[in-house]
Structure 1
Amino acid sequence: MRPEDNEPPYIARVLSRIHNQIRIAYYYRPKDTVHKRRLFFGKKELFESNNLDVQSAETVIGKCIVHSFDDYTKLDPVHDEDYFSPFKYDYTNKTYTPHPVQLYCKCELPYNPDEWMLHCDKCKDRSKTLGACRYHPACVKMTTVQAEKLKNYLCDDCVPE
């Protein structure tokens, strides 16, 4: 939907349409919440909200797709119109309704699909999930360039003593 000058477009889910009016539920960007922007928020991350509104259908400027977090991480490639929403945001109470969020790395942050991470080859073989053993290169004292050159990586728990 059309934004103010120099702002990104508003993103909303259309709930219904009557003539030229649409009933919508807004999505929030992390920067528009009380928590602002944190390192683990993805660039394409949105929060579904309970903020409902009625707007003219003429305010719609395009269509985008808001995926679940799991579906978003499987996209290849990610297009400009692709976003993901891992949480619901109660805009009145300024609280989140989290879906279960798995923490990764030594820093124990949620997975951010914008950040490249190492995968432990041994843990990856044991786990059929997203990969329970992922690390930011800096958290294991490597640069991203060094980490990308590795053919295999074993986490501290999997390295034989």
Structure 2
Amino acid sequence: MESIESICKVHTLKVYQARETVDPSYDFFARFTYHTKDHRLTPDQIRVFCMCNMPVNPDHLMICCDTCREWFHPGCVSMSEDMVRRVTAWNCPECANSVRA
């Protein structure tokens, strides 16, 4: 568990992803916006990816299946980040099994 113990900048996810450089000790992102007037968060849902059903983290590498177009974390599909950076075409395990059948 970590905590923030100094001044930091919390960006919307969209702004965070658009930044050219990110300082990991100063720049953070929030997926949700809290509306104090009516006590609600937006968006009320976020899309999840991979077999682990987690949302995208712009700080972590992912790989896209060329067939189903879904995104996966390298570790969830038994790949290293180096392998992901070198691959030119890739199918997720489910699509790869469909092709073999």
Task: Tell me if both proteins adopt one fold, taking TM over 0.5 as the criterion.
Answer: yes
Match in the other structure for 1:102: 47
The unaligned stretches of length 5 or more in structure 1 are: 1-5, 12-45, 47-65, 125-132
Deviation for aligned residue 1:143: 1.6
Question: What amino acid sits opposite 2:60 in the alignment?
Answer: E
Alignment equivalent of 2:16, drawn from 44, 59, 72: 72
Q: Look up the SS of the partner of 1:109 in the other structure.
A: coil
Alignment equivalent of 1:118, drawn from 48, 63, 67: 63
What CA distance in whole angstroms lies between the structure 2 residues aligned with 1:76 and 1:9?
Answer: 19
How many correspondences in the alignment?
A: 90
Does the 8 Å CA contact 2:8/2:28 hold for their aligned counterparts? no
The unaligned stretches of length 5 or more in structure 2 are: none
Residue by residue over 1:113-135, the C-alpha shift from the partner in whole angstroms, topping out at 9 and shown as x without a partner, is 111111112334xxxxxxxx111
State the TM-score, normalized to the length of structure 2. Answer: 0.65
Given the superposition, is the C-alpha separation of residues 155 and 10 from structure 1 closer, same or farther in structure 2, using an over 3 Å criterion? closer
What CA distance in whole angstroms lies between the structure 1 residues aligned with 2:71 and 2:14?
Answer: 16
Residue by residue over 1:18-49, the C-alpha shift from the partner in whole angstroms, topping out at 9 and shown as x without a partner, is xxxxxxxxxxxxxxxxxxxxxxxxxxxx4xxx
Residue by residue over 1:99-149, the C-alpha shift from the partner in whole angstroms, topping out at 9 and shown as x without a partner, is 13110111001111111111112334xxxxxxxx11111111122222222
- Are positions 1:153 and 2:96 aligned together? no
What CA distance in whole angstroms lies between the structure 1 residues aligned with 2:95 and 2:82?
Answer: 23
Larger Rg: 1
Given the superposition, is the C-alpha separation of residues 98 and 109 from structure 1 closer, same or farther in structure 2, using an over 3 Å criterion? farther
Q: Look up the SS of the partner of 1:146 in the other structure.
A: helix
State the TM-score, normalized to the length of structure 1. Answer: 0.44
Question: What amino acid sits opposite 2:53 in the alignment?
Answer: E
Question: What amino acid sits opposite 2:92 in the alignment?
Answer: C
What CA distance in whole angstroms lies between the structure 2 residues aligned with 1:151 and 1:90?
Answer: 43
Alignment equivalent of 1:88, drawn from 15, 33, 53: 33
| Greater strand proportion | 1
Question: What amino acid sits opposite 2:20 in the alignment?
Answer: P
User: Percent identity over the alignment?
Assistant: 27
